[in-house]
């Protein structure tokens, strides 16, 4: 059984060209897309919109057909396209260089594509478009009459756009939605075991990790999902839905009779991809005769570990194709006092990877860190809480500065704690007298110190069982004291935390309200940023270096989500450490 037919790489901008075949159309006898279907057996991707079909050929060029002159007559040239999507009267296409082309009508800003070159996924609604950047953040443009372009913060792995609403799938497997809630379009099912989402018109569908499908939105036959079978792909259309079962059978459910069943001649073909338009479906035929050397159900061309039956995929953060390829954790160690608030007491750049098995369960966790700054008189420690017990850890190992480094793993009730850095003094000797390490431009600059670990689980971890904080909870141990913890804002303490410190001085932590490690005005003591961040110099408050920081924090992240970027203009370069 092939467990996954289609995969956009989680660690790079790639397209799995698993199929190379011809295009078929079925649905309403009045649909115009069934006429003038482009000939050839070299198609690798398809998309459907309102009375229009799109396709990508093996050479990366685009084809459009149907009854939409706005789209058909303005197809962009080039042969480096890897993904496509179509709305009511506009279309978008993603190039391999991470840029997006849009064409068609622009009466609602549909063609106002943001100037980014790190886009990895696209989805179109009626008159708006969603995109995922390489760092997992979202973009949107076009019609915003229902607030469907007001994207949330976070990291996402799939997107779907409806008529005036939007959906995104988070890395923890849960779904968020925004825009117009009319007709239950945002009545999103709870859970964090979703692996795929699709939306059209007034309804949405989602596929779970167990292969089942759920639906919500306008209460019609579009919500009558199949109750039996394991599905490997599912697509919503305007008046119907179609899914591919793990045995290759196509299953449809719809509002109109012409979409409720799949013609026998279609079932006799080897359909490896489907797409849904307003009243029609597209199918892409092609072989899926891939080798599977480790017999884990994942074709070798999609399997990052083709000879290892326990491993199949890697989920990396940040994506290697992101702006810097690294994220940054930065801490202010005076909690519960605000302190000098320069966020350079400990600065760690990081890359973290989940290695998943064929069932999308976590088998390994790997991380690379760069110890980049120590602006503290304390000898702090750095640790990570994981949502599994110590007894489920098969093995773990650490390396620092090119040599083996002991990283003890500690019990924390049903969770475990990996002490990644037992003391910053193991690597950095702060001389004192007001001199620190890589925080003062007038002092010597030192190369960051590499630190890494690998951890393997006995029983792979179900993504659906992850807590709200995900699979890791990084924190600082102030002066190596186990109970004196500083976590990211909103992240809970471990069971070892000294709760007597909560609510003292400048802190407003209140466990009853699930409020952690924030001041009354939402200012944090720890930051997790999706770039290799240039932190403030010694004794300069972060708000003096980055003018948008305080409004961002005080608005709970709703304002100035790019406050940390050097190019936004609202910074004081004299107070920022130049790495």
Domains of the chain, by residue range, sit at 23-285, 313-542
The tokens for 491 are 């992240």
For tokens 């006995």, the residue is: 458
Residue 241 above 50 pLDDT? yes
User: What is the DSSP-derived secondary structure letter of residue 38?
Assistant: P
Question: Is pLDDT above 60 for 6?
Answer: no
Task: Compute φ and ψ for 500, nearest 5 degrees.
Answer: -65, -20
Please state the rounded mean pLDDT for residues 234-242.
94
- Distances in Å between the Cα of 417 and the Cα atoms of 146, 327, 383, 405, 474 are 44, 21, 7, 16, 9
Checking if the pLDDT of 10 tops 70, the result is no
Confidence class for position 309, pLDDT limits 50, 70, 90: very high
| pLDDT value for 190 | 95
How many Å from the N-terminal Cα to the C-terminal Cα in the chain?
50
Separation between Cα atoms, residue 91 and residue 53, nearest integer Å: 10
Report field, pTM of the whole predicted structure over 0.85: no
Q: Is the dihedral of CA 222, 8, 106, 275 positive or negative?
A: negative
Triad 84, 115, 528: Cα angle to 5°: 100
In whole angstroms, how far apart are CA 468 and each of 91, 371, 471, 473?
36, 27, 9, 10
pLDDT above 70: percentage of residues in the chain: 95
Chain CA centroid to CA 364, Å: 19
pLDDT of residue 320: 66
Closest by CA position to 75, among listed 64, 67, 83 = 64
Which residue did the predictor score with more confidence, 117 or 308? 308
Reported as a single tens digit per residue, the pLDDT across 144-194 is 999 999 999 988 999 999 999 999 999 889 999 999 999 999 999 999 999
Instruction: With residue 258 as reference, give the H or E element that holds it.
Output: helix 257-260
Region 525-542: mean pLDDT is 96
- Mean per-residue pLDDT for 8-21? 39
Mean pLDDT of all residues in 25-29? 85
pLDDT at residue number 282: 94
pLDDT beyond 50 at 15 = no
What number does CATH give the domain 23-285? 2.130.10.30
262, 250 contact by CB (below 8 A): yes
Assess whether pLDDT exceeds 70 at residue 322: no
**What average pLDDT does the segment 48-70 reach?**
91
Q: What angle do CA 357, 365, 411 make, to 5 degrees?
A: 115
3-class state of residue 132 by DSSP: strand
Highest mean pLDDT among 133-137, 450-454, 563-567: 450-454
The tokens of 20 are what? 């190379």
**Does residue 518 carry a pLDDT above 60?**
yes
Q: How sure is the predictor about 19, in pLDDT bands with cuts at 50, 70 and 90?
A: very low
Distance between CA atoms of residues 482 and 408, nearest Å: 13
Q: What is the average per-residue pLDDT within 28-37?
A: 79
Whether residue 223 has pLDDT greater than 70: yes
Half-sphere exposure of 352 (CA within 13 A, CB side): 18
User: Residue 521 pLDDT more than 90?
Assistant: yes
**Res 8: pLDDT:** 35
Q: What is the mean pLDDT of the chain?
A: 91
What are the residues facing 282 on neighbouring strands? 25, 275
CA pair distance 163, 426, nearest whole angstrom: 56
Residue 18 has pLDDT above 80, yes or no: no
Place of tokens 């973290």: 352
Strands 128-133 and 138-142: antiparallel
């Amino acid at each position: 059984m092939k467990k996954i037919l289609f995969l956009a790489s989680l660690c790079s901008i790639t397209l799995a060209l698993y199929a190379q075949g011809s295009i078929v159309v079925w649905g309403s006898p009045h649909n115009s897309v069934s006429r003038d279907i482009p000939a050839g057996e070299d198609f690798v991707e398809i998309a459907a919109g309102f009375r229009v079909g799109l396709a990508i050929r093996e050479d990366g060029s685009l084809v459009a057909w149907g009854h939409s002159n706005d789209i058909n007559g303005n197809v962009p040239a080039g042969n480096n396209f890897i993904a496509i999507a179509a709305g009511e009267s506009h279309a978008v296409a993603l190039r391999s260089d991470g840029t997006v082309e849009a064409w068609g009508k622009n009466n609602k800003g549909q063609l106002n594509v943001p100037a980014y070159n790190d886009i990895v996924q696209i989805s179109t609604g009626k008159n708006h478009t969603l995109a995922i950047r390489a760092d997992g953040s979202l973009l949107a443009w076009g019609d915003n009459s229902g607030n469907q372009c007001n994207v949330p913060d976070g990291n996402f792995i799939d997107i779907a756009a409806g008529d005036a609403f939007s959906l995104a799938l988070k890395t923890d497997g849960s779904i968020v939605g925004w825009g117009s809630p009319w007709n239950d379009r945002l009545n999103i099912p709870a859970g964090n075991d979703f692996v795929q989402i699709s939306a059209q018109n007034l309804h949405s569908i989602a596929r779970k990790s167990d292969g089942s499908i759920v639906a919500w939105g306008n209460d019609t036959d579009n919500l009558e999902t199949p109750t039996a079978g394991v599905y490997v792909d599912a697509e919503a259309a305007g008046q119907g839905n179609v899914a591919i079962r793990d045995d290759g059978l196509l299953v449809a459910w719809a509002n109109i009779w012409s979409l409720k069943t799949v013609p026998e001649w279609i079932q006799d073909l080897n359909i490896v991809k489907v797409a849904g338009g307003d009243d029609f479906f597209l199918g892409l035929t092609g072989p899926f005769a891939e080798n599977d050397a480790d017999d884990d159900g994942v074709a070798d061309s999609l399997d990052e570990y083709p000879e290892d039956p326990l491993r199949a995929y890697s989920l990396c953060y940040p994506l290697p194709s992101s702006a810097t390829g690294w994220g940054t954790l930065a801490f202010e160690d005076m909690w519960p006092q605000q302190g000098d608030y320069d966020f350079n007491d400990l600065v760690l750049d990081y890359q973290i990877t989940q290695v998943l098995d064929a069932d999308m369960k976590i088998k390994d966790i790997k991380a690379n860190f760069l110890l980049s700054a120590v602006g503290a008189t304390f000898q702090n420690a750095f640790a990570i809480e994981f949502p599994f017990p110590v007894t489920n850890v098969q093995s773990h190992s650490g390396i620092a500065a090119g040599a083996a480094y002991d990283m003890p793993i500690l019990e924390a009730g049903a969770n475990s704690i990996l002490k990644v850095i037992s003391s910053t003094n193991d690597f950095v000797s702060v001389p004192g007298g007001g001199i620190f390490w890589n925080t003062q431009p007038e002092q010597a600059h030192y190369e960051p110190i590499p630190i890494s670990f690998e951890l393997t689980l006995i029983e792979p971890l179900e993504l659906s069982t992850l807590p709200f904080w995900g699979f890791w909870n990084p924190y600082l141990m102030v002066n190596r004291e186990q109970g004196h913890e500083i976590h990211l804002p909103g992240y809970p303490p471990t069971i070892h935390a000294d709760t007597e410190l909560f609510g003292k001085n400048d802190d407003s932590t209140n466990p009853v309200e699930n409020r952690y490690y924030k001041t009354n005005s939402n200012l944090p003591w720890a930051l997790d940023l999706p770039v290799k961040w240039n932190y403030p110099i010694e004794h300069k408050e972060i708000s003096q270096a980055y003018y948008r920081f305080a409004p961002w924090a005080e608005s709970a992240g709703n304002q100035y989500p790019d406050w940390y970027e050097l190019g936004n203009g609202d910074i004081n370069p004299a107070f920022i450490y130049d790495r």
